[in-house]
Amino acid sequence: MKKNKPKFKQIIDAAVEVIAENGYHSSQVSKIAKKAGVADGTIYLYFKNKEDILVSLFQEKMGQFIEKIEQETTSKQSAEQKLFTLIHTHFEQLSADHHLAIVTQLELRQSNKELRQKINLVLKRYLKVIDQIVEEGVEEKLFRTGLDRRLVRQMIFGTMDETVTNWVMKDQRYNIVDQAKEVHSLIIHGLAHNGQ
């Protein structure tokens, strides 16, 4: 598994395309191989099995995804700005890669429990970023004290995830990046009147 070989990335990129275009269950190894321009057998020189393609795909793509979010957020001053940047960058990146959006929001969820747990492992790094921003917010006295960290994380991630999934299922017909501000506001202030 030499991850710096061009063929490794070639195959992963082919997999994203094939899965986005055909759906998870119609994405046979042979189809991915064909799109990547290699023989079926070659896949198995770079990946242990089919599931390993998917795990690697997620690691590779989500790795970059999270890295970008880390970069963008650390440069911001306040927790509030950081949270906005996180939401904005999250939406922006998936908006920029339609294939990836389909794959992460819809197709990859059709995998079995085992694969999903490996995916969650990758996501942990993202959740930590969220946790830290929340921590900072509390320290800055921007956020309430006594917040259940896990629930907060679930609200933030759940809201963004549901928002992106709905956008994908509506065939990405509107601009999701535009909604970052409002989502941010909802998370910060909730539904109630500011004054309350």
User: How far is it, in rounded angstroms, from Cα 14 to Cα 95?
Assistant: 19
| Minimum distance from residue 46 beta carbon to DNA (Å) | 7
Considering the complex, state which of residue 54 and residue 79 has its C-beta at the smaller distance from DNA: 54
User: Which of a copy of itself, DNA, none sits in contact with 28, Cβ below 5 to 8 A by type?
Assistant: DNA
Compute CA 44 distance to the chain's CA centroid, rounded to the nearest angstrom.
26
Out of 9, 42, 131, 165, which residue is the one contacting DNA (CB under 7 A)?
42
Site of tokens 């275009």: 21
Applying CB under 8 A, the residues found at the interface with a copy of itself are 23-25, 106, 109-113, 116-117, 120, 134, 137, 141-144, 147-148, 150-152, 154-155, 157-163, 166, 169, 179, 182-183, 186-194, 196
Q: Which two tokens stand for residue 142?
A: 């921007």
Cβ atoms < 10 Å from Cβ of 184:
21
Considering the complex, state which of residue 46 and residue 143 has its C-beta at the smaller distance from DNA: 46
Considering the complex, state which of residue 114 and residue 162 has its C-beta at the smaller distance from DNA: 114
40 binds DNA (CB under 7 A): yes
User: How far is it, in rounded angstroms, from Cα 76 to Cα 184?
Assistant: 15
User: How far is it, in rounded angstroms, from Cα 185 to Cα 83?
Assistant: 10
Q: What is the pattern of x (binds DNA, CB under 7 A) and - over residues 4-33?
A: -x-x-----------------xxxxxx---
The DSSP output letter for 144 is: P
User: What sign has the CA pseudo-torsion 145, 149, 152, 153?
Assistant: positive
Amino acid in the structure at residue 163: T
Considering the complex, state which of residue 112 and residue 117 has its C-beta at the smaller distance from DNA: 112
Residue 75 burial (C-beta neighbours within 10 Å; 0-12, 13-18, 19+): exposed
Considering the complex, state which of residue 41 and residue 146 has its C-beta at the smaller distance from DNA: 41
By CB under 7 A, name the binding residues for DNA: 2, 5, 7, 25-30, 38-45, 49-51
